[in-house]
Amino acid sequence: MIIRLNKNIIRINQFKLKCSIGKGGIKKKIKEGDKITPRGTYNLGNLYYRLDRVGKFRTKLKKKIIKKNMGWCDDPNSKFYNKQIKLKKKYKFSFEKLYRKDHKYDFLVPIEYNFKKPIKNKGSAIFIHLTKNYKTTAGCIALNKKDFLVLLNLINKKTKIKIV
């Protein structure tokens, strides 16, 4: 199954889900921090979620509970660039904290962009995550919670996302 993202709409089966994208639009991603949502077709990763904040939901994705010490390395100088990491007291590289005070990462699914053998400075931490206001993102795709739950119900580990 392929879900399609075009501008600010995700299409999957008969559903059209409003979303927000990177401030730089959908283009060929050039570098880390360019705020571009990368054009292309990608696999989806596991579902990460906050057990303390979400109710019951259905998905065929493999699930991972977000813990307080979880992050995602976005520092090209780290050997863990564009990987989930376990935060230690003095982690010297830049990262996204997954356990947040806001609700943005109560649910998130990594888009496997620059993923298997990451190229330094090519971009990292591209997620599908939650939004309440549809403001532009730093390159991620953001949906409201109701639509995210619809998406979770329809996708599986073989689903790809085509960003055009």
Q: Give CA–CA dist 16/49, Å, rounded.
A: 23
Within 8 A by CB and 6+ apart from 49, the residues are 57, 63, 64, 65, 66, 106, 107, 108
pTM: 0.95
Q: Provide mean pLDDT across the span 39-61.
A: 97
What SS3 class is residue 81? Answer: coil
**In the 8-state DSSP scheme, what is residue 150?**
H
pLDDT per residue as tens digits for the range 63-114 = 999 999 999 999 999 999 999 999 987 778 999 999 999 999 999 999 999 9
Nearest Cα residue to 65 out of 81, 77, 76, 54: 54
Confidence check: pLDDT of 20 > 90:
yes
pLDDT at 90: 78
Residue range 26-44: average pLDDT?
A: 97
User: Could you say which architecture CATH assigns to the domain 2-61+104-163?
Assistant: Beta Barrel (2.40)
Residue 45 near residue 62, CB atoms below 8 Å = no
**pLDDT reported for residue 37:** 98
Element (H, E) at 146: helix 145-154
- Domain boundaries of the chain, sorted by first residue: 2-61+104-163
The pLDDT value given to residue 46: 98
Q: Residue 117: pLDDT band by 50, 70, 90 thresholds?
A: very high
How high is the pLDDT of residue 91? 79
Asked if 163 and 42 count as a contact pair (C-beta separation under 8 A), the reply is: yes
